[in-house]
Amino acid sequence: MAKSPFSARVASAARTTASANRDGDHHANGSSRKDGDGNHVLNEILLALSRAESEAVLPKLEFMRLKLHHVLHEAGETLKSAYFCNSGMFSVLNVMPDGKSVEVGLIGKEGFSGTPLVAGFRTAHTRTVVQADATAFRVDADVLRILLPKCPKLERALNRFAQFMGVQVTQVAACNRLHEVNERLARWLLMTQDRVGSEHLPLTQEFLAQMLGTRRSSVTVSAGTLQKAGLISYTRGHVAILDRHNLEQAACDCYGLLQKQVKEWESQDA
């Protein structure tokens, strides 16, 4: 079975150009699969499908270009569609009754938004927001329910992804509670680069504070610390990663633990 993109393909994804990810017009890992309208398929769940399942699934998908901050799913609302991220990034947020929210997960072209549908549920527990201009393949919820029994490889891949997301959510929750802001910021920048595939990230202080569940002033101090160390360049609304190797050293253990867990599960794959 194809290797999960969470580990082995992280390094290559980080070197992918920003334009290729934004436009969705370049191949991933040499793949050349397209949908019926000629859009390149970069989502790694879709790329791993057998030819028979691909021919069954791709005609049911709608290619979409998604703008920054577009809400795909709202917590508590009915899931009418699901999305295979094709380029860019989705952010998964836990929303509290007072409206405050904190990020608990990230989804790139390795993943899928709408996993409750795979388990037979109809509503979303979290909010999913586009956090970098993205492309995606949308599938209607009812269509997905019909496809899953007919496409066992797709169903297994989505169940596996749900497990990987579960690991990410629990690790990020621990990270937000136990680690300093500068360590969390470094971890988050690495995870973002892995999914966006660019050293240049369009990020504001307000956005980073919301994602990390902290104050804007704390983000300013932490970003300044990383910048003084020569790891990033930080200006208003923009972060550039200058030294990924040492940024990994500056991050908390959570980034490495996530990669380690995924590799361990991959080694158990039958």
What pLDDT does 141 receive? 98
pTM of the model: 0.83
* Per-residue pLDDT at 58 exceeds 90: yes
* Per-residue pLDDT at 30 exceeds 60: no
Burial environment of residue 56 by CB neighbours within 10 A (0 to 12, 13 to 18, 19 or more):
middle
What pLDDT does 19 receive? 40
Residue 32's pLDDT band, with cuts at 50, 70 and 90, is low
What pLDDT does 11 receive? 42
Residue 143's pLDDT band, with cuts at 50, 70 and 90, is very high
Sequence-distant (≥ 6) Cβ neighbours of residue 125 within 8 angstroms:
75, 76, 116
Q: pLDDT digits over 203-257, tens only?
A: 777 777 777 777 878 888 898 899 999 999 988 778 899 999 999 999 999 999 9
Q: pLDDT digits over 160-173, tens only?
A: 999 999 999 999 88
Residue 269's pLDDT band, with cuts at 50, 70 and 90, is confident
DSSP line for 188-253 = HHHHHHHHH--SEE---HHHHHHHHTS-HHHHHHHHHHHHHTTSEEEETTEEEES-HHHHHHHS-H
Residue 176's pLDDT band, with cuts at 50, 70 and 90, is confident
Q: Cα(232)–Cα(186) distance, rounded to whole angstroms?
A: 9
Percent of the chain with pLDDT over 70: 88
